[in-house]
C-alpha cells in the first residue's frame, strides 16, 4: 500500500522498525581522531552559516513567533557611554527557528530514549534526563550534505514528497562523499528555496522529508546527528497515529540529536561551487540546564 508521500506503514510495522533500530545506550561522543580528521577538511577557510533569521513575524509556518524587543533606549542626557538593550525569547520547537533537539524532547508510549519514563524525569523546571546540556560542548565533526533535489535534477522537492534510504546512499556516493561513522548528516529538500519563490505554507500538514524506513541509513552508518531544512519528517505522516515518526526513530529509538529548520541553500551553493559535499561542521547549543533543546546557528567550514 502507498500513500501520497510514499509507502504507508501500519502501526505494527512502525513499532517493529522501532524495536529493530532501538538502542539501549548511546554509542559515545565523536572520537577525537574523527574531529581531527574533520578539521583536515578545512582548505580555504570559507564559513557558511546555516541558522535561519530570528523570526518574529507570524505566518502559516510560524504560529508562535519569536520575540525581540528593546528594553532600554539610550538617554542622550545620561553620562557616557549611552546604552541600548534588548530582549529575545522563542518557543523554538516549531517550523521557523533553527534549533537542536535534545534527547528528552520526544517520548513514544510515554518513554524517552533507553526506556526512561518521561513523567519520572520531567517537572515544570524541565528535564532531569537527556537535557540539551548533555550535548555540550557541542557537535563537531565531518558534516555531509545530502542534496536530494540536486540528485533528482530539481530545485526543490514538493511538500509531501518522501525520501527513501537507498536514495540517501546514492546521493552520498554520486557526490563523492560516502558516509562514515559519526558523520553529521544534513538532508536538503529545498524547503527554503520553494518558500522564497512561492511563499509560506504550513509544514505541519505538508512537508518533504524522510520516510521512516530511511532511518536505517543513519543507524547503519552510525551517524552522530541528523539535520534538515525542514524537521526531517515527511508529512502527512505515512504512519497512522504517529505524527512525527522520524523524530521518534531518531531521538527515542536511536538517541540521535536532530537539527531542525536549517537554511541549507547557501551551503548547497558552496558545495556545488567547490564540488565538495563534506566539510567541518560545528554547532553548540546554549547552556540551558534541563532544557529540551536550543536555538543554534550551525557553521560549515570549507
Distance (Å, rounded) from C-alpha 262 to C-alpha 99? Answer: 8
Asked if residue 81 is part of any domain, the answer here is no
Nearest to 235 by CA among 226, 225, 247, 227: 247
Quote the cell numbers at residue 1: 500500500
Q: Can you spell out the DSSP letters for 214-247?
A: GGHHHHHTT-SEEEESS-SB-BS-SBTT-S-HHH
Distance (Å, rounded) from C-alpha 255 to C-alpha 25? Answer: 8
26 band by pLDDT with thresholds 50, 70 and 90: confident
Asked if residue 146 is part of any domain, the answer here is yes
Buried (b) or exposed (e) across 254-264, using 16+ Cβ within 10 A? bbbbbbbbbbb
pLDDT tens for 133-180 read: 999 999 999 999 999 999 999 999 999 999 999 999 999 999 999 999
Asked if residue 76 is part of any domain, the answer here is no
Distance (Å, rounded) from C-alpha 63 to C-alpha 238? Answer: 24
Asked if residue 117 is part of any domain, the answer here is yes
Q: Could you give the number of structural domains in the chain?
A: 1
Q: How many helices and strands in the chain, by DSSP H and E?
A: 9, 17
Quote the cell numbers at residue 119: 513523567
Nearest to 232 by CA among 298, 271, 188: 188
Asked if residue 187 is part of any domain, the answer here is yes
User: pLDDT at position 93, please?
Assistant: 97
Give SS3 for 183: coil
Across the range 213-241, mean pLDDT stands at 97
Asked if residue 63 is part of any domain, the answer here is no
- The domain in which residue 43 lies consists of 2-53+99-301
Distance (Å, rounded) from C-alpha 145 to C-alpha 171? Answer: 9
Asked if residue 60 is part of any domain, the answer here is no
Report the predicted TM-score, pTM, of the whole model to 2 decimal places. Answer: 0.95
Q: Residue 36's domain is classified under what CATH number?
A: 3.50.30.50
Grid cell 513575524 in the structure block, residue: 57
Average pLDDT, the chain: 95
| 283, containing H or E segment | strand 278-283
Asked if residue 273 is part of any domain, the answer here is yes
Distance (Å, rounded) from C-alpha 270 to C-alpha 48? Answer: 8
Amino acid at each position: 500500500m502507498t500513500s501520497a508521500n510514499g509507502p504507508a506503514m501500519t502501526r505494527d510495522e512502525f513499532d517493529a522498525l522501532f524495536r529493530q533500530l532501538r538502542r539501549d545506550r548511546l554509542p559515545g561522543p565523536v572520537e577525537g581522531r574523527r574531529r581531527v580528521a574533520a578539521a583536515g577538511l578545512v582548505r580555504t577557510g570559507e564559513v557558511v552559516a546555516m541558522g535561519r533569521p530570528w523570526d518574529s513575524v507570524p505566518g502559516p509556518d510560524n504560529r508562535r513567533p519569536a520575540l525581540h524587543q528593546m528594553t532600554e533606549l539610550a538617554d542622550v542626557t545620561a553620562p557616557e557611554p549611552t546604552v541600548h538593550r534588548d530582549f529575545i525569547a522563542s518557543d523554538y520547537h516549531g517550523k521557523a527557528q533553527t534549533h537542536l533537539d535534545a534527547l528528552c524532547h520526544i517520548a513514544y508510549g510515554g518513554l524517552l530514549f533507553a526506556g526512561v519514563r518521561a513523567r519520572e524525569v520531567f517537572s515544570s523546571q524541565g528535564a532531569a534526563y537527556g537535557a540539551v546540556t548533555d550535548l555540550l560542548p557541542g557537535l563537531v565533526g565531518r558534516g555531509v550534505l545530502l542534496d536530494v533535489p540536486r540528485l533528482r535534477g530539481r530545485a526543490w522537492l514538493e511538500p509531501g514528497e518522501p525520501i527513501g534510504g537507498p536514495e540517501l546512499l546514492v546521493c552520498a556516493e554520486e557526490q563523492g562523499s560516502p558516509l562514515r561513522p559519526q558523520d553529521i548528516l544534513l538532508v536538503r529538500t529545498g524547503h527554503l528555496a520553494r518558500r522564497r519563490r512561492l511563499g509560506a505554507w504550513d509544514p505541519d500538514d505538508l512537508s518533504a522529508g524522510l520516510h521512516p524506513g530511511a532511518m536505517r541509513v543513519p543507524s547503519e552508518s552510525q551517524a552522530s546527528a541528523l539535520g534538515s531544512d525542514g524537521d526531517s519528517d515527511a508529512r502527512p505522516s505515512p504512519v497512522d497515529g504517529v505524527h512525527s515518526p522520524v523524530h521518534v526513530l531518531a531521538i527515542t529509538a536511536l538517541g540521535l540529536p536532530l537539527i531542525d529548520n536549517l537554511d541549507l541553500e547557501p551551503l548547497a551553493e558552496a558545495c556545488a561551487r567547490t564540488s565538495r559535499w563534506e566539510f567541518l561542521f560545528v554547532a553548540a547549543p546554549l547552556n540551558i540546564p534541563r532544557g529540551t533543546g536550543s536555538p543554534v546557528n550551525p557553521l560549515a567550514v570549507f
